[in-house]
Amino acid sequence: MVLDHKVRVFVFRFEGDHWDYLLLRRKPLSEYGYGPVRGTVGVSEHLQDAVLREVREETGLARPTHLIDLEHVSRFCFGDEGLIEWDFAFQAPQGEVLIHHGPCIAESFWASFDQAFETMEISEDRESLVRLRMHLETG
């Protein structure tokens, strides 16, 4: 079985008195809905390095205020191929944050929890968003 490792990274920020979450939409628009940063983990690349690289490539954000391992892994099997997604959260700096879309990103916007939850179409993304929100509220 061939295993492909990917990271799923929820970029968030504290704005005013609440948390906002960055939603990205990949190209082509007809194939992708809104969701978190997603990307591959290179051979012998550490997960945290993959997280930082993917966030930088897709958003232009270089350094997190906090990087959180959400301690959740999703596993999917497609015949002889498997996909493992590792969930992380990346806190962007407070205040106005300029997002520079990478070549694969069509559009993005900051959303409240409710808006992000309603906008994301993939159930695993919504579950991880809830996990992040619970971590932020108890942390």
> Which of 105, 103, 100 lies closest to 26 in space, CA to CA?
105
pTM here is: 0.93
Residue range(s) defining the domain that contains residue 106? 2-138
Residue 129 sits in a domain whose CATH number is 3.90.79.10
Number of domains composing the chain: 1
Per-residue pLDDT of the chain (139 residues; tens, 9 = 90+): 778 899 999 999 998 889 999 999 999 887 889 999 999 999 899 999 999 999 999 999 998 999 999 999 999 898 888 999 999 999 998 877 789 999 999 999 999 999 999 999 999 999 999 999 999 998 7
| Percentages of the chain per state (helix, strand, coil), in multiples of 5 | 25, 45, 30
